[in-house]
Amino acid sequence: MKQILFCKKVYSRWLILLIDQLIVTFALVMSLMIVNNAKYDWFFDSDLLLYLFAYNLVTMLVFIAMRIHTGIIRYSNIEDVFRVFKAVLLADALFGVVTFFGASSYLGLGWRWFAAMLVINFFISATILIVLRIGVKLLFHQLEELQNNTKEVLLIYGADAASLLIKQGLDSSPERNFNILGFIDDNRDRINKHIEQKKVYHSSSIPLLKSKCSVEKMIVMEDCLDIEGRKKAIEKCLECGIRVISVPASNHWLKGKLRLSQLPDLKIEDLLQREPILLDSENILSELRGKRILVTGAAGSIGSEIVRQVLKCNPELVVLCDQAESPLHEMQLEVEDHFPSVQCKVFMANIRNYDRLKSLFETYRPQVVFHAAALKHVPMMENNPSEAVFTNVLGTKHLADLSIECNVEKFVMISTDKAVRPTNVMGASKRIAEMYIQALHNYQTDFVNHTIFITTRFGNVLGSNGSVVPRFKSQIESGGPVTVTHPEITRYFMTIPEAVQLVLEASIMGKGGEIFIFDMGEPVKIVDLALNMIKLAGFTPHTDIKIAFTGLRPGEKLYEELLNQTELVVPTYNEKIKISKVIYYPYVYVHRLIEELLAINCVSDERAVVKKMKEIIPDYVSNNSHYNELDVVC
């Protein structure tokens, strides 16, 4: 019996119509009996057949017109119930008009008797039809509950329309290997209430639900607006060993359905998610629309995201410049797939090569340059300072000089928090590039058509090439241990889209010569990052996956800074972006120092190169590096 009732087959709509007609026929007979004081002799009256035929004809035409029979009863909702109510009301009204006014003289009907019969019939018909639908839905729900006793138990974060949409999407999925226990929400007005027969729990109940009901997963929506509440619930889940599944926005679902097996686990980037950044989108669009834009480092983490967001602004042309062949090819394919209507050009070049860059500028005449190309690995650059100088200093100088020569309107440089009181070669090379950009802007402000130079400075981005996240992920997949340099090391983190959004915003508000710093939130302990990644992977830290401390690498410091102690900040209209008031150096002075540095760099005397960098940047003090001895000399 259970197999028959719970069969996944959807029965013919004509069978549903037949059942509905039997119900309304029964209701009409019952109403006639009631108004006739239950006298059975009325059954043998030939007029009864006329009533039944007329009423069935009217109700069948109304039900077909309103498509009452086409709904799948087990999925009936309030809208379906209301449609049944309206259909029965309309059918009774039409039947009353046709029968009473068309045949009252023939049948000898009294209007009081007939009206009473119609009212009673309406309530009986509507009640039975609605109870049938609700009853079938409840029956299927109960049978599902019986079947779900051996299936994995899920929670859904939130008790709003989006969370209900997740439940309905899962309910319509062909997979039935899960049981939705309920919703998690800290809104007092919703706690202990029910949504579609599922209870709403407070996030503090998660440990109890884990032990009592063996909850295995919690599902969260990617674009959830309650960021703090979501973080709190996720942390509870991680503490209890409950996996967290991330669901994309509903417009990305396939045919409005969700397949639990295809939903990705929550990423560590999702744990960092903060309040949405409010951007002046119209200004960004108007600034970049119809422009020719050059992005250097276009195949890298930041550069590729700049390309994606710039392409949404309908530019005239976007030039993707990088020296990495395979990543640049992948980026080209992505652009062709997702932005076929925007004109893009791929230009392979090393930014150290002045002649190659000059060809690029003369061919495409960019109006806006986003300079994201750089060498950024701290330990690698500590052992190869000449390469850091050639790319980060000389490459930036080439691009900046060509921007002035070719009348570029705006030049936006991506810098790093490691340029603040640098302790390593990489940070020092970026600070020297910052100095040149600022000095160059001030030097050419007297020109009629001058280029606006802007610098943006922010910390680490999660998921970028070379960040700790891919490294930790690889170590977890191989069974550990996860290596952290120091138990107290902290870093500022931001997601890649978040960082690029602020870069675009800063590029619009910049008047020239500024160094914009971004609100990176609170610094994050790297060991906490490792612990959360282990938990997200479904393992127990220190038991399943060990954490090993390896010591600070060359050039690393425990704490990163976004500002020098001598720097002041000026707020902007966007609370997440501030302007650093750093010391300005004359262009002639900076240019001479950089020329001397580049001349030394060509000799390949790395010790002399680093010594010169320390002369240019007095607060550059090496940390955990073999260049520490130069600090005593300098």
Tens-digit pLDDT profile for residues 228-252: 788 888 888 888 888 888 777 655 5
Contact 556, 521 (CB under 8 A): no
Strand order in the sheet with 452-458: 344-348, 317-322, 292-296, 368-371, 410-416, 452-458, 515-518, 577-581, 568-571
Query: Does the domain formed by 281-616 have CATH 3.40.50.720?
Result: yes
Tens-digit pLDDT profile for residues 386-402: 999 999 999 999 999 99
Tens-digit pLDDT profile for residues 60-92: 787 777 777 665 555 566 677 777 777 778 887
What span, in angstroms and rounded, lies between the C-alpha atoms of 21 and 224?
Answer: 46
SS3 state at 383: helix
What span, in angstroms and rounded, lies between the C-alpha atoms of 544 and 220?
Answer: 26
Q: How many CA atoms lie within 13 A of 108 on its CB side?
A: 1
Q: How confident is the model at residue 2 (pLDDT cuts 50, 70, 90)?
A: very low
What span, in angstroms and rounded, lies between the C-alpha atoms of 272 and 401?
Answer: 38
Residue 5 has what pLDDT? 46
Residue 391 has what pLDDT? 95
Where in the chain are the domains?
A: 2-145, 151-266, 281-616
> What b-and-e string marks burial along 201-220, b requiring 16 or more CB atoms within 10 Å of the CB?
bebebbeebbeeeebbbbbb
Structure-token match 């302007």, residue found: 579
Q: Which of 262-276, 520-534, 570-584 has the lowest mean pLDDT?
A: 262-276
Q: Does 470 or 41 have the greater pLDDT score?
A: 470
Average pLDDT taken over every residue of the chain: 80
- Mean predicted confidence (pLDDT) in 613-618: 92
Question: Which residues does 359 contact at the CB level (< 8 Å), separation at least 6?
Answer: none
Q: At CA 277, angle to CA 452 and CA 202, rounded to 5?
A: 165
What span, in angstroms and rounded, lies between the C-alpha atoms of 507 and 501?
Answer: 10
Q: Does 399 or 585 have the greater pLDDT score?
A: 399
Q: How confident is the model at residue 326 (pLDDT cuts 50, 70, 90)?
A: very high
Q: At CA 72, angle to CA 67 and CA 74, rounded to 5?
A: 140
Structure-token match 């996860």, residue found: 482
Tens-digit pLDDT profile for residues 115-147: 777 788 778 887 787 777 777 767 776 666 565
Q: Look at residue 110 and tell me whether its pLDDT is greater than 60.
A: no
Biggest alpha carbon distance in the chain? Answer: 121
Contact 215, 225 (CB under 8 A): no
- Mean predicted confidence (pLDDT) in 454-460: 85
CATH class, 151-266 region:
alpha beta
Q: Look at residue 363 and tell me whether its pLDDT is greater than 80.
A: yes
Do 151-266 and 281-616 show the same overall fold? yes
Q: How confident is the model at residue 442 (pLDDT cuts 50, 70, 90)?
A: confident
Contact 120, 128 (CB under 8 A): no
Tens-digit pLDDT profile for residues 499-556: 888 888 888 888 888 888 887 777 788 888 888 888 877 788 888 889 998 888 887 7
Q: How confident is the model at residue 260 (pLDDT cuts 50, 70, 90)?
A: low
Q: Does 385 or 186 have the greater pLDDT score?
A: 385
Residue 308 has what pLDDT? 92
Q: Which of 102-106, 155-159, 177-181 has the lowest mean pLDDT?
A: 102-106
Phi-psi group of 555: left, alpha or beta (phi > 0 → left; psi -120 to 50 → alpha; rest → beta): left
The CA–CA distances, whole Å, from 62 to 21, 86, 90, 195, 530 equal: 11, 10, 7, 32, 64
Q: Look at residue 262 and tell me whether its pLDDT is greater than 70.
A: no
The CA–CA distances, whole Å, from 500 to 215, 273, 315, 379 equal: 38, 15, 17, 25
Contact 419, 431 (CB under 8 A): yes
Residue 633 has what pLDDT? 53
Contact 384, 426 (CB under 8 A): no
Q: Which of 69-83, 299-313, 330-344, 372-386 has the lowest mean pLDDT?
A: 69-83
What span, in angstroms and rounded, lies between the C-alpha atoms of 462 and 305?
Answer: 13
What span, in angstroms and rounded, lies between the C-alpha atoms of 560 and 422?
Answer: 9
Q: Which of 323-332, 433-442, 472-481 has the lowest mean pLDDT?
A: 472-481
Q: Look at residue 634 and tell me whether its pLDDT is greater than 50.
A: no
What span, in angstroms and rounded, lies between the C-alpha atoms of 522 and 500?
Answer: 19
CA dihedral over 5, 11, 13, 15, signed as positive or negative = negative
β partners of residue 199: 182, 194
Residue 142 has what pLDDT? 65
Contact 603, 461 (CB under 8 A): no
- Mean predicted confidence (pLDDT) in 170-182: 73
What span, in angstroms and rounded, lies between the C-alpha atoms of 364 and 377?
Answer: 31
